[in-house]
Structure 1
Amino acid sequence: MLWILFAGKGQKFTVMTILDKKKEPLWTGELELKENTAGFRPHKIRILKREGKELSDEEYIQSKEFINLLKKANRIMIATGCSAAQENELKSMLSAYQLKYEYVNICRFCLLQKRFNFINKSSIRYHKEMICPECAKDELKKVLKNSRQNMGDSTVDFFYETLLRTKDFDKTASLLSADRLDPEVTRYDTIRSAGSEKQFPVKKLRIHNRLKNLLLAKSDQLLPVQSMAVDAGLLDGKNLMVVSATATGKTLIGEIAGIENILSDKGKMLYLVPLVALANQKYDQFKKRYSEIGLSVSIRIGAELIKTKSTSDMKKSLDSDIIVGTYEGVDHILRLGNADSLGQVGTVVIDEVHMLTDSDRGHRLDGLIARLRYLFPETQFIYLSATVAGPEYFAEKLDSELVVYEHRPVPIERHLVFARDDEKIRLMAQLVKDEFNMKSSKGHRGQTIIFTNSRANCHTIAASLHAFGINSAYYHAGLNLAERKTIEHKFARGEISAIVTTAALAAGVDFPASQVIFESMAMGIEWLTVSDFLQMSGRAGRPDYHDRGIVVLMPVPGKSYSSGATGTEEEVAIALLKGGLLEEEFDYDEEEQLEELLASVSVTTSRSDLSKIQKSMFGDISENIMLIKLQKYKFIELGKEVKQTRLGQIASAYFLSVSKTYMIVDSINAGISPLHIITNLDFFTAASFKYAEQISKDLRMNLPSRVFQGAFMDIIFDGENLKDVSPKYQKLLLNFAADMFVCSCQESPYCGCAERKFSEKIILLRTKGLEPIEIIRKLEDDYGITAYAGDIFSYLEDAIRNLEAMELIAKNMNKNDVAKNAKELRLKIQG
C-alpha cells in the first residue's frame, strides 16, 4: 500500500512516500512547483532522506517518474496548515492529473524529523497544538534532563505513564514545579470501594442481648468483613485470621468474639496491641463502651511501673473481664511463670499481627503467640491485620480460618507530588487547608495526618503549618500520656486540622483522618516497607466520617537518608505505589533464639511440650544447640525435664540478654552501686540542647542539637569557642560541663562518664518525687537541656525493670545489701 503526503514548507512542499503505513517514509523529499500555460506542474523533486538515512549528495527524480508515482498511490494526502496560495497550487497540479486527495492532520514534530504520524485520539496536547505520543515523549525527556533532578528510570517511566494518561504535556511537566496541585495530574490511581456486599443483620446474630443492644445502637447491620467473619465461624469459637484494610471494621470482630465469650462464661478477653499509645486508646474505648453492660476493663503496659497523676486512675489488675495489653506487657506475666494469674481466658485478640514480620520485635510476638496457644488450647484466637504477605500461610500456621476482605468501605485516591524540600510546607499547607474546608456527606470536615521520619521534623512541620494559619499539632512517642490524650481528643472534636506524626505510630492511634500525606518516604533513615506504607495510607478515609480518602506522597527527587540506602526517594515512592507485599522470612539470630527458648521454658518443663511450642512458631529455633548454650550460661538445668535456674528465670522475665545479665552479675561482684549499674546498662541519650540554634548563630556554625554528639562536646571543651557564646548560654554550658564532664578517664569526654552522670541525674531527680515533665523543666533551668517526657518515662520504666532484675539477681547471689539498695532505689523511682 502506497501513500503520498504533501505538507507546506515555505515556498515549497515536503513530500513523503509512505509504504504500508510505516512511520518512517520510504523517502522524504522537497517539491517545487512551476506554473506554465497548462497550470502548475512538478518542476524539481529532490530526495532528502531515503529509508531513514539523510542524503549528503543531491538526488533528484524526474517529474514524469513522480507523476507516475502519484498515479500509483492508493492515497494522496494534504497536511492541514498550508497557506491558501500553496494549497491552490497543489490542488491545481493534482486536478490536472485527475488525482483525488484528502486533508489530514499530522504531527508537526514528526514532520520536522522527516517522519510521519497522524494526529488522532492518542495524540498529546503540547502547548496549543497536538503532537504524537512519541514526539511528546521525546520532548518530555528533554524537560526531565534539563530539570537537573537525579531521577531514576522508574521515575522517568512514571512521567511517561502520566503523559499518556493525561494526554497533556504541560500538565505532566507541571509535576516538576509543583506550582499548582492539579489532582487530575497528580493522581496516581484510585482504589475503589466495593459494590453491594452481604451485610448480616445484627438482630439475627446468635448473641446475648446485652451485646446485641450495644451493636444495634451503632448500626442495624454488620459491615461486610464482619459478616464474612460470622460466616467463617466467629460465633462458633473458631480461630480467625482477618486481613482487611484499615477502617473496614476489623476491631469489632475481635470484640464481638471476646464479649460474647465473656457473657457465655467462657473466660475473659485478652486484647493485645504493639504500642502503649494504642493500648491506652483501646483501654479508654473499651472502658467507656463495655462498662455500660457491667464489664470491667484493665490495662497491662509498662506504665503501671511508675505512679504519676495521669496513670494513677488506670486499673491494672488481672481479674478484669477485659485486659488490654501490649505484647511485652502480657508476655512479662508469662515469663514470670504467672500464667495462672490470668485465670480462664476465653478469647485472645492479636491486633496488628503483621508485627510478626518486624525485624526487632517479631520474634517476641512469635514466641508470645506460641506460648499463649500452648497455655490456652481451648481459647478462641482472633488475629487482625491490614497487610500480610501470603495470608494463607499465616492462617495455616496459626491454625485459623482465613477471612480476606480486599475492598475498602470508601475509595482512596493516591497522589504523587514531586517537590523540593523548600516548597513542601507551602504545598502541605495548601492541601491541609483545602481538605479542612471540605465537608463530607456525613457532616465532617476533612482532617490530615502528615507522616514524617523524625520527631524533630514533627515539631518543625507543625510549627511551620501554624505560620500558615493552620491549627496543627505534633504527636509522637516522646509525648507523655496526658499530652497525647489531649491531642487525640482535640482531633476527634475537629479542633485540629492536621496531626504531624512519625511512621513509628502508623499502626497505633486511631485518628479519623480523611487525608494522609507522606512528607518523607523513610522511617528514621530506613525506607518504608510496602507493609508500613499500606498501614499508614490505610488511615485515610473512615466510613463513619468520610466519602473518600486521599493519600499524597511528596518525594524529593534524588534524595536519600543514608549512604547505605539503595534508590532515591522518588523511586521508593513509586515502588511503594506499585509494590505488592513480599513473602516474609523469619530468620532469628542466636540472641533471639536463646531469648524465645528460655521464655518458653517459663511455661513448661517438658522437652516434648517445649518442642511443640517451638514448632508452632514461624521462626526456626535450633532447639538442641540453644538448650546446650543456655545450660552453659547457667540459665537452665538439663535432664529429663528442662528447668530454669533462678538466674534464667530472672533473665527471661525481664527480657535481659546474656550479656546484660552477666554485666549485672559482674558489677554486683565488683561492688558497684545499683545506681551506677543501671546507668551503665542503659544511657539516656535522647537529650538535646534547647538553645542549639541560638548558640549556632553565636559560633557561626551548625551545632548539632543532640547533647552527646561529638561536635557538641567539642564546643564545650574548646575555650576559644565558648568565649563567643552569649553569657546566658555560656553559663548553662559551663554548668553542664562542670557537673557531667569531670572525670579522670584518658578518653574524656568520650569515655561515657558524661552520659552515665546525666542518666544518674534524671534518676536522682525522679527519686525526689519529680514527674517526667518536672524533670525536664529542672534540666532546662540548670543546663538548658531538654527532652521529651515520653522518653524520660520510658527510660525510668527500663530503670525500674533493671533494678527489679538486679534485686532478684543480688538475692540469688546472697548479696542482700545490694538487693536492699536496689529495692529502695526502685521504689523511689516508682513513686
Structure 2
Amino acid sequence: MAIKKNIYGKKITPFDWQEKAKEYKNLLIIAPTGSGKTIAAYNWAFSSDKTERIIFTAPIKALSNERFLELKKAKKDVGILTGDVKINENAKILCMTQEIYTNHFAHLPNQKVVIDEVHYMFQDPYRARAYAEGLYKTSKDSDILLLSATITKKAIKYFEKITQRKLDIIKIKEKPVETKYIGKIPPEKLTEYQPAIIFLFSLKGVTSIAKNLANYNEKINNLPSEKQLQKILKLAEKYKINSIELIELAKRNVGIYHGNMRYKEKIFTEILFRKNLIKFIVGTDALSLGVNFPAKTVIFGQLAKYYDGPISKREFLQMSGRAGRLGLWDIGYVGFINTPYESFEYSTEILYNMLLKRSLEPEEIIVAPSYKLIIRQLSLKDLIENTEKVKEVIKEEVESISKLSSKEMSKKDEEELQKDIENEIKKLTKTIMHKNNIEDAEKIYKIFQDIYFDEFDPYTNLYIAEKIYKNNYQVKCIEIYDYFTEKDTQREKLQFLKFFKGLTRSEKYRVIGLNEFEELIKEEDEFVLDPEKIKT
C-alpha cells in the first residue's frame, strides 16, 4: 500500500476494487462522492517504480494543496505547481492545475497521470478546453487514470475518443454508506441532523442563513463546550483569522464557505468542521468539489442558481454525496429547508422532488474558442483587411473545437460558430483601432499577442496591453491590479500574480512591484503562497 494514512492521520484500509485499480494501464473510475476514489488513485499511481513522473491534476487550488500535503505527510518526493505557487518542481510526484498539465506536461512520455474530478469539465465550459486539450495531447507512452463522479455512457465514449485509447472501467454505483432522502427538515429538527452542510448559491444567502442559524443555536444553547471554544480560539490565532464574523459564527457552532474567502479562512473552517468543533457549515457549491468535508447530513436551502436556473442531477448527486461517511455515519441524510433565497419563483420542495426522480442528463460540452491561438497567427493587417487568412485560421479553430467537444457539431453548427468568432474578431479589431493611429495600434497589438492570458477575457488582455504600451513597456503590478480588479478578492489577486509572474519570463517587459504585490497577498494570508505552513 503506497499511502497508509490520509492527511488527517486516519488509517487507509482499501476495498477490493481500490486494490484492483493497480492492475490497469488506462483506467476510468466512476464512483459517487465519498466512495474512496483517491485511495484507488494512489494504488494505481504507485504500482510501478519505472514511471518517470506521477502527476495529479485538480480543478481547484485547494484540491491540489490537499493532495500535496497528504503526499508530503507520507514522506513522498512531491512538488506543487499552481501558477502562483511553485514548490519542488523537479520532484517525481507533482500536483498541479489542469492548465499547467495541458500546457507543459501532457506531451511528455512515461508519466502516470491522474485527472481528478474530470466530470468538472461538463460543469464549467470555460475550463473544459484545458481538460479536453490535456486529454487529447497526453503522450501515447503515458498512462491515464480519470476519476469521475457518476456519468453516462455518452461521457465514457467521449473520454475514449478524446484520449485516443481504450479505457478499462471500474464503476461503483453506490457509496459504502446508505443515503436517505428525508425531504423537508423543520427548523426545530435541524440539530437532530448535525453535523450538517447547508448549500446555497449566493453569498448573501450563505451569510444570512449562517447568522440566523447561529442565533438559533444560541437561543437553544446548541453551542461548543468551553473546551471546544478554547480550541476554536487557538486555531483562529494559529491561522491568523482576523474576521470577527467567522470567529463569532464559530462560537455559535456555525461556519461559512464560499469561493471569495481567503485560503486560510477556508482551512480554518475545514479543520473546525472535521474536528467536530462546529456542527454546521453553510456554503456554496464550492464545497462540492473534492475538499474533504464529511457530514452526517446535506441540506439544500436553494436548488436553483440566479443565472443558470435549477441545478443538474449530476450537481445534486455530487453535493448529496457529502452525506454519510464510513466509520462515522453509516447513514447519510439529504433534505431541504425553505429559505427566502431560492431563485425567482422556483420552489425548493418541487425542485427537490423533481431532482430525486430525474435521470442523469447526457453530458454535452462545446469547448470555448481560443482567441489566443487565433490572434497569434494573424497580423493586425490581416484583421483590418479581413484577409482570407483570417477565415482560414478561424476555420481551423472551429475544426479544433469540433474535435475536442463532446457534442457532435453539424455543418450548420460549424458555420454559425465560424460567423460568431469572425464577428468577435471584428469587434476586437475596432476596439484596437479606436483612438489609436496605425503605428500605435500595431505596437499595442503585438503586446496583446505576446501577453495574452487565458484566464482573462480578450478585452481585459487588450486593455492591459494598451496600458503596458503607454507605460513604455513597464508592467506596474499594483497599478494594473487596482485598475482592472472588480472585487479585490484573494482569487483575483492570485490570478493577477500568475499573470505578472508569466511576464517576468520575457525580456521585453519591465515588471515593477511584483515583490510588493506578492507581499500584499502574504500580509493578508501567509499560507496561500506557502501551503507547507498548513498543519492539519
Amino acid of the structure 1 residue aligned with 2:491: S
Is 2:515 the partner of 1:827? yes
Instruction: In structure 1, give the amino acid aligned to 2:371.
Output: L
Partner of 1:496: 278
What is the match of residue 282 of structure 1? 67
Q: Which residue of 1 aligns with 2:317?
A: 534
2:485 alignment partner AA: D
Whether 1:379 aligns to 2:161 is: no
Q: Is the 8 A contact 1:266 1:344 kept in 2?
A: no
Shift of 1:380: 1.2
- Whichever residue aligns with residue 242 of structure 1, its letter is I
SS at match of 2:492: helix
Partner residue of 1:316 out of 87, 93, 103: 87
Match of 2:265 in 1: 483
- The answer to whether the aligner puts 1:211 opposite 2:14 as a matched pair is no
Q: Which residue of 1 aligns with 2:462?
A: 662
Match of 1:267 in 2: 52
Give me the whole-angstrom Cα distance separating, in 1, the residues matched to 2:114 and 2:450.
27
Is the counterpart of residue 449 in structure 1 residue 197 in structure 2?
Answer: yes
| SS of aligned partner of 2:158 | helix
Change (3 A) 1:799 1:580: same
- Tell me the distance in 1 between the aligned counterparts of 2:404 and 2:316: 29
Partner residue of 1:573? Answer: 352
Q: Which has the higher contact order (CA 8 A, sep 6+)?
A: 2
The equivalent of 1:594 in structure 2 is 371
1:5-404 matched pairs, under 5 angstroms: 211=2, 218=11, 222-226=14-18, 229-230=20-21, 234-237=22-25, 239-261=26-48, 264-289=49-74, 291=75, 295-304=76-85, 316-331=87-102, 334=103, 338-339=104-105, 346-370=111-135, 373-389=136-152, 390-397=154-161, 398=163, 399=165, 400-404=167-171
Question: Unaligned regions of 5+ residues in structure 1, if any?
Answer: 1-209, 305-314, 419-423, 437-446, 602-606, 635-644, 687-790, 813-818
Whole-angstrom distance in 2 between the partners of 1:803 and 1:448? 40
8 Å CA contact 1:521, 1:555 repeated in 2: no
Aligned position for 1:406:
173
- Give the 3-state SS of the residue equivalent to 2:131 in structure 1: helix
Q: 1:482, CA displacement in angstroms? A: 2.2
Partner of 1:548: 331
Q: CA deviation at 1:391?
A: 4.0
Contact 2:367 2:401 in 1 (8 A): no
**In the superposition, relative to structure 1, how do residues 583 and 213 fare at CA in structure 2: closer, same or farther (>3 Å)?**
closer
TM-score scaled by structure 1? 0.47
Equivalence for 2:237: none
Question: Structure 2 vs 1, CA of residues 473 and 490 (structure 1 numbering), >3 Å: closer, same or farther?
Answer: same
Contact 2:30 2:150 in 1 (8 A): yes
Structure of greater Rg: 1
Pair 223,571 (structure 1): closer, same or farther in 2 beyond 3 Å: same
The separation in 2 between residues aligned to 1:348 and 1:524, in whole angstroms, is 36
Post-superposition offset of 1:802: 4.2
Partner Cα distance (2:126, 2:404) in 1: 18
Aligned-residue offset at 1:357: 0.9
Looking at structure 1, the residues matched to 456 and 3 of structure 2 have their Cα atoms a distance apart, in angstroms, of 45
Distance 1:802 1:379, change over 3 A: closer
Q: Name 1:682's counterpart in structure 2.
A: 485
Distance 2:132 2:205 in 1: 35
2:371 & 2:105 partners in 1: Cα distance? 21
Q: Deviations over 1:672-707 (max 9, x none)?
A: 9845544443333x6xxxxxxxxxxxxxxxxxxxxx
Partner amino acid, structure 2, of 1:537? S
Per-residue CA deviations over 1:144-167 (Å, capped at 9, x if unaligned) read xxxxxxxxxxxxxxxxxxxxxxxx
TM-score (norm 2): 0.70
1:650 corresponds to: 451
CA distance 1:347–1:622, change in 2 (3 Å): farther
Shift of 1:382: 0.8
Structure-2 change in CA distance of 1:615 and 1:666 (3 Å): same
Q: Is the 8 A contact 2:365 2:405 kept in 1?
A: no
How far is the alpha carbon of 1:353 from its aligned partner?
0.9
- Change in Cα spacing, 1:803 to 1:434, as seen in structure 2 (3 Å) is same
Structure 1 contact 678–803 (Cα < 8 Å) conserved: no
Paired positions, count? 438
Matching residue of 2:208: 460
Q: Indicate how the Cα distance of structure 1 residues 278 and 269 shifts in structure 2: closer, same or farther if over 3 A, else same.
A: same
What is the alpha-carbon distance in structure 1 between the residues aligned to residue 373 and residue 117 of structure 2? 20
Q: 1:489 to 1:344 in 2, by over 3 A?
A: farther
Distance 1:670 1:595, change over 3 A: closer
Offset, 1:457: 3.0
- List per-residue Cα deviations over 1:524-582 (Å, max 9, x = no partner): 5542221111100001111232211111122469x8524xx7x5333222221111111
Q: Residues 764-779 of structure 1: matches in 2 within 5 Å? A: none
Q: Which amino acid aligns with 2:43?
A: I
CA contact (8 A) 1:225 1:250 kept: no
Q: Following TM superposition, by how much is the alpha carbon of 1:259 offset from its aligned partner in structure 2, in angstroms?
A: 1.7
How far apart, in 2, do the equivalents of 1:297 and 1:631 lie?
Answer: 43
Q: Residue by residue, what CA displacement relative to the aligned partner does 1:694-727 show, whole Å, maximum 9, x if unpaired?
A: xxxxxxxxxxxxxxxxxxxxxxxxxxxxxxxxxx
Say whether the 8 Å CA contact 2:296–2:333 is kept in structure 1: yes
Q: Percent identity?
A: 22
Q: Secondary structure at the match of 1:356?
A: helix
- 2:30·2:147 contact (CA, 8 Å) conserved in 1? yes
Structure 1's 488 and 683: CA in aligned 2 closer, same or farther, altered over 3 A?
Answer: closer
Alignment partners' CA distance in 1, 2:342 and 2:155: 32
The residue number in structure 1 matching 2:243 is none
Asked if the contact 2:32–2:150 (Cα under 8 Å) also holds between the matched residues in 1, the reply is yes
Aligned Cα root-mean-square deviation (Å): 4.1
Rounded Cα–Cα distance in structure 2 between residues aligned with 1:612 and 1:807: 30
Q: How much does 1:663 deviate?
A: 2.0
Contact 1:593 1:622 in 2 (8 A): no
Q: Match for 1:385: what amino acid?
A: S
Shift, 1:253, TM fit: 1.7
- Is contact 1:367-1:596 (8 Å) kept? no
Any idea what the Cα deviations from partners look like across 1:433-454, whole Å, max 9, x if unmatched? 2234xxxxxxxxxx21111222
Task: Assess, with a 3 A threshold, how the Cα gap between structure 1 residues 365 and 497 changes in structure 2: closer, same or farther.
Answer: same
Q: Secondary structure at the match of 1:510?
A: coil
Question: Are residue 618 (structure 1) and residue 377 (structure 2) matched?
Answer: no
Alpha-carbon distance in structure 1 between the residues aligned to 2:461 and 2:116: 31
Matched position secondary structure for 2:360: coil
CA displacement 1:489-533 (0-9 Å, x = unmatched): 222222221222112321131112121111211345542221111
**Secondary structure of the structure 2 residue equivalent to 1:241:** strand
1:224, CA displacement in angstroms? 4.9
Q: Is the 8 A contact 1:453 1:502 kept in 2?
A: yes
Distance 1:213 1:802 in 2: 38
- SS of the residue aligned with 1:511? coil
For residues 278-337 of structure 1, give each alpha carbon's deviation from its aligned partner in whole angstroms, at most 9, with x where no partner exists: 222222222213x1xxx2122222542xxxxxxxxxx62321222222223444xx2xxx
